[in-house]
Amino acid sequence: MDIKTDELGKRTTVTIVGTITFKNSNELRVVLVSLSKKKIKEIYIDMKGVEYLDSSAIATFIECLKITKAYDGALILSNLNETCKDIFMIARLDKIFTFE
């Protein structure tokens, strides 16, 4: 998995390429929690290059979402493929996350 961050004003874009699994989700967690703790107003996660994610990735996104909501920030997931989107839908997480 490759992670790239691009900070532009109040919005930071995190671009992820590859699979997100238990083996590497902590790397993503470190990046997202660090951005959340900086109180970035909008964390925009571009998942166009993500082929697959597992429950550890979901847990990472939920943790970051909780932190950002605490300071009225936003975590936005974008460009999910159908497989990744289905994982969020099945877990009924489409009700708490913002998708673009």
pTM confidence score: 0.92
> What's the order of all strands across the beta sheet hosting 74-78?
2-8, 11-20, 42-53, 74-78, 98-99
Domain extent, residue 23, equals: 2-99
**Residue 9: predicted pLDDT:** 83
CATH of the domain at 13: 3.30.750.24
Beta strands in 34-97 (DSSP E): 42-53, 74-78
Is the Cβ–Cβ distance between 67 and 29 less than 8 Å? no
Q: Count structural domains, the chain.
A: 1
Nearest Cα to Cα of residue 73 among 39, 45, 98: 39
Q: What is the mean pLDDT of each run of 10 residues along the chain (100 residues)?
A: 93 97 96 93 97 95 96 96 93 94
